[in-house]
């Protein structure tokens, strides 16, 4: 027996026998795993065993999605648009960077390129690397 590992509770054993965690290889398996996750999350009280099991299933989903549905890498203006939307930034909050709202509009519409000083200011504003704004 391996030392350091606890003997699983009967409830945890029930979890893994009713839906054994296995590497996900198809979208059908992914959907089934996500359904199982949702069923547990819908419970009124989630136990430590539930959380441990969800952690295992979540890791399997993450691994599959990383291989089959990688997130797109956003750069430049697309990144700026995503950050504005995600952080619910209003145009007036960025006026100090662009000096005028119409300049920001031109950049967001693709009619003007970001300058080096704007890139540096955006990087500081969003606390990310300036290279993220380079195409």
Average pLDDT of the residues in 118-126:
94
Instruction: Give kind and range of the element (H or E) at residue 33.
Output: helix 27-41
pLDDT tens for each residue of 55-76: 999 999 999 998 987 767 889 9
DSSP 70-93: PPPPP-HHHHHHHHHHHTT--GGG
In angstroms, the CA 114 to CA 104 distance is 9
Percent of the chain at pLDDT > 70 equals 96
How is residue 113 written in tokens? Answer: 């390129």
Q: Does the pTM of the predicted model rise above 0.75?
A: no
In angstroms, the CA 106 to CA 113 distance is 8
pLDDT tens for each residue of 13-58: 999 999 999 999 999 999 999 999 999 999 999 999 999 999 999 9
Q: What is the rounded end-to-end Cα distance, in angstroms, of the chain?
A: 54
């Amino acid at each position: 027996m391996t030392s350091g590992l606890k003997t699983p509770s009967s409830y945890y054993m029930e979890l893994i026998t009713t839906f054994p965690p296995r590497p996900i290889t198809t979208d059908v398996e992914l959907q089934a795993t996500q359904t199982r996750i949702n069923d547990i999350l819908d419970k009124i009280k989630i136990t430590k065993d539930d959380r441990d099991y969800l952690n295992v299933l979540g890791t399997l989903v993450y691994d599959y999605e990383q291989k089959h549905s990688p997130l797109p890498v956003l750069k430049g203006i697309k990144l700026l648009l995503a950050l504005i939307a995600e952080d619910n930034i209003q145009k007036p909050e960025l006026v100090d960077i662009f000096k005028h709202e119409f300049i920001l509009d031109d950049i967001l519409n693709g009619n003007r390129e970001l300058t080096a000083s704007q890139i540096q200011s955006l990087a500081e504003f969003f606390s990310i690397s300036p290279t993220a704004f380079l195409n």
